[in-house]
Structure 1
């Protein structure tokens, strides 16, 4: 009797699982050889399988999960399930999404199908709200400019969400993974729905609210891999994603934002072609009679600038490696240097007091804080959707700044590379205030000559107040050398 061979390959790790081989091979007295199939199965978590798939994809191999689904998914009941009535939706976009992406897929069934339908019903009923929120200070979307936030607020949550789900499904293209892909993509932003968000925003941000809402769905709470799905939803705005699927969700979310902004900016330009020309907006300068300055200390010490840590809450995270991106078509090194030159030794009034973007030193350098350089680049870029979207995505912003700094160094020799380590675009430096206080910061070191002006001339442009705020800037390398000497 010929044996039945069932072979499943997972390319990328060399793992080969034989579900059954020569299952009823006839020998001697006719006893079947080998172990039962269920004893040969090996359990795997979604995270382990996603890592395996990610490695294989990067190596150019194709991984098909259809035959190894039970390695990472709990076994489905074999009992006949009574078909559920077809749900009805009031938004045609959701109706179309269900019809095209959910309704006829045999892999979407049981509790997962129920969760997906409930999420779609929730978005259908309450998803007309804005797709951005910024009430909690921890929200990534707090970093959008006022104009960008206002534009994105016109995109309803339900529409943004189903676009992310479509993009995620197209990227994965594995039917066996689609149920969980749809759950996390449809659920990743439901924490923005006002009936939930307005009650919890003061304590947690929208990814955590989304996870709380998901766990309130009985069928979701019963899923064997619920903890992994929770983690994907909770961490989709973190700088560094632990799971490949989290990274993919984050990328799809970002890609949809760029597409939305491209359309919105185009419409805005058509309405008023001059409204968004940022190059026509000069850097803001404080008016002495209206700017609220930090009061001087009782001992007469000069005012000092206080800055948040450059990475904020991210300083304790394991930062991802920087990646050089393709230069955008609008990139103009001379224009960026010109935009930054206008900010050298200038004070700007902000909600946190007086701030500077770039300061010169007598050593022939100009040190720019990353946000100051980012503002100069945005001025040159106009309303580039990638730049606007990167405001709320720290990883994208870091990669773009790294790319721009590398190019400024290559073309204009504008960067003092002796202070910048490989795979970085900033240097660790100490800002010495007029009172002798040292403030650690991450700054981009430029050569003063790149701006076509002498150090002496730049020093003459400093106001007395700026001199009190920044007496000197010392790269850490120089501090170390001084200590050694």
Structure 2
């Protein structure tokens, strides 16, 4: 009614009708719902980790606790899916599994490396301008870290292949990402225990620990860009590439630590990385056995038992005229490798894993440790200086024709004959061949 009247007035006045009725509003579609976990997994987490400072940043002291948890958790096979699958049989683990197939390809949760290793130290990482490149290292581990934690591409060219040969198949069941996570936690724990003012060294250690095994990733070794040599060298090349263009004063030192993490070093920082790597390996081996455990040296090592394991080898001639120990008068002269072999057998008896007894590059370190225990037990026939594990001797024989067949210097550990609890006459009766014409071991100063 009103509309018709208004239309008539407008027409009579000669105006154009400009009043229009609004078009109906379109129907608003239903909102799209996305699960938060999917959003975090596919978009949020890979590209933005700042939220973790608020959401899941560890409380003060919690980062140190994670390093301790890394030790206890690794020794409990039932704590992780990987360990549950791998601990179903007694030691040794299944050696028939191909080393190219890690036991659990899923590895750690995708945020674990960032949560445990980066977020607690974000302030110092940003202050030293390494937050972005270190985050790139983590992304590399997230993308490629599901491979085995041992080299599977041309392994014979890698120094670790022979260094850890006896436990290689076991370690292949641990993913690279898991191993790196554990090593970095342990390295950070040791860093804080060793240096009073440790904070400036945090970025340097994180770079070294996170990058120390990147050279094991098959795609890098097979690409042709990197050499097929030892993985530490390949790792250093990859880390240097990730930090290209960064002006970091300690970059070379961190790269040197990566290159040398399988060799003994007098540098304290380098030694911490190597120790963390070895400790992680011990925990990983123990995690795959119901019986093996990691224990402090002093809790299981026994000098009396060591001597019992050595005694059957005294005056025993082996193939090729070789021998490992000889008794002369009141002294038994033992080759250092006899002590090392006895210590390995002792650790097997006590069901303890100690990497210094397994890793070939730790031979001298292990021998010094063993001889230190022998020295403290007061069973050495002649003093051996601190830091040494034997003395040099010249072998004197009553047959002049045979003298030139032996090296001029021979290294032995002199031990009191009486501590073996075997009569000297019984030991003497064992001698045969060349052992019967050896009359003296003359010390060489």
Give me the whole-angstrom Cα distance separating, in 2, the residues matched to 1:363 and 1:395. Answer: 28
- The aligned residue for residue 393 of structure 2 is 429
Conserved? CA contact 2:286–2:292, under 8 Å:
no
Partner SS, residue 417 of structure 1: coil
1:375 paired to 2:341: yes
Relative distance call for 1:156 and 1:227 in structure 2 (3 A) is same
Deviation at 1:340, TM superposition (A): 0.2
1:264 paired to 2:284: no
Give me the whole-angstrom Cα distance separating, in 2, the residues matched to 1:222 and 1:467. Answer: 64
- The aligned residue for residue 159 of structure 2 is 139
Conserved? CA contact 1:426–1:445, under 8 Å:
yes
Give me the whole-angstrom Cα distance separating, in 1, the residues matched to 2:299 and 2:367. Answer: 19
Relative distance call for 1:330 and 1:250 in structure 2 (3 A) is same
Relative distance call for 1:85 and 1:143 in structure 2 (3 A) is closer
Match of 2:311 among 341, 348, 351: 341
User: Number of residue pairs matched?
Assistant: 327
Aligned pairs for 1:399-418 (under 5 A) are: 399-408=368-377, 410=378, 413=379, 415-418=380-383
Give me the whole-angstrom Cα distance separating, in 1, the residues matched to 2:298 and 2:247. Answer: 47
Conserved? CA contact 1:258–1:389, under 8 Å:
no
Deviations 1:363-399 (A, max 9, x none): 3422222221111122222255453444323464134
Partner SS, residue 313 of structure 2: coil
1:459 paired to 2:421: no
Relative distance call for 1:431 and 1:234 in structure 2 (3 A) is farther
Aligned pairs for 1:101-116 (under 5 A) are: 101-103=117-119, 105-109=122-126, 112-116=130-134
- The aligned residue for residue 239 of structure 2 is 214
Give me the whole-angstrom Cα distance separating, in 2, the residues matched to 1:446 and 1:345. Answer: 14
1:330 paired to 2:300: yes
Moved more, 368-377 or 453-462: 453-462
Unaligned 5+ residue runs, structure 2? Answer: 1-45, 50-104, 193-197
Deviation at 1:422, TM superposition (A): 4.2
Match of 1:179 among 195, 198, 203: 203
Partner SS, residue 167 of structure 1: helix
Deviations 1:441-460 (A, max 9, x none): 32211222322234443233
Higher relative contact order (CA 8 A, sep 6+): 2
Moved more, 100-109 or 251-260: 100-109
Aligned pairs for 1:2-13 (under 5 A) are: none
Relative distance call for 1:117 and 1:472 in structure 2 (3 A) is farther
Deviations 1:48-88 (A, max 9, x none): xxxxxxxxxxxxxxxxxxxxxxxxxxxxxxxxxxxx9337x
- The aligned residue for residue 447 of structure 1 is 416
Aligned pairs for 1:8-23 (under 5 A) are: none
Deviations 1:200-232 (A, max 9, x none): 999743322221222232537653432122122
Deviation at 1:183, TM superposition (A): 0.9
Deviation at 1:120, TM superposition (A): 1.9
Deviation at 1:193, TM superposition (A): 2.4
- The aligned residue for residue 248 of structure 1 is 272
Partner SS, residue 410 of structure 2: strand
Partner SS, residue 106 of structure 1: helix
Relative distance call for 1:339 and 1:229 in structure 2 (3 A) is same
Deviation at 1:341, TM superposition (A): 0.7
Partner SS, residue 107 of structure 1: helix
Conserved? CA contact 2:157–2:229, under 8 Å:
no
- The aligned residue for residue 474 of structure 1 is 441
Relative distance call for 1:100 and 1:137 in structure 2 (3 A) is closer
Give me the whole-angstrom Cα distance separating, in 1, the residues matched to 2:173 and 2:305. Answer: 32
Match of 1:387 among 343, 347, 354: 354
1:95 paired to 2:111: yes
Relative distance call for 1:361 and 1:396 in structure 2 (3 A) is closer
Conserved? CA contact 2:146–2:177, under 8 Å:
yes
Relative distance call for 1:227 and 1:260 in structure 2 (3 A) is same
1:360 paired to 2:323: no
Give me the whole-angstrom Cα distance separating, in 2, the residues matched to 1:201 and 1:363. Answer: 59
| Larger-Rg structure | 2
Partner SS, residue 328 of structure 2: coil
Structure 2 length as normaliser, TM-score? 0.62
Deviation at 1:262, TM superposition (A): 3.1
Give me the whole-angstrom Cα distance separating, in 1, the residues matched to 2:253 and 2:425. Answer: 58
Partner SS, residue 130 of structure 1: coil
| More helix, by proportion | 2
- The aligned residue for residue 188 of structure 1 is 212
Partner SS, residue 263 of structure 2: coil
Moved more, 186-195 or 172-181: 172-181
- The aligned residue for residue 161 of structure 1 is 180
- The aligned residue for residue 35 of structure 1 is none
1:170 paired to 2:136: no
Match of 2:139 among 121, 126, 135: 121
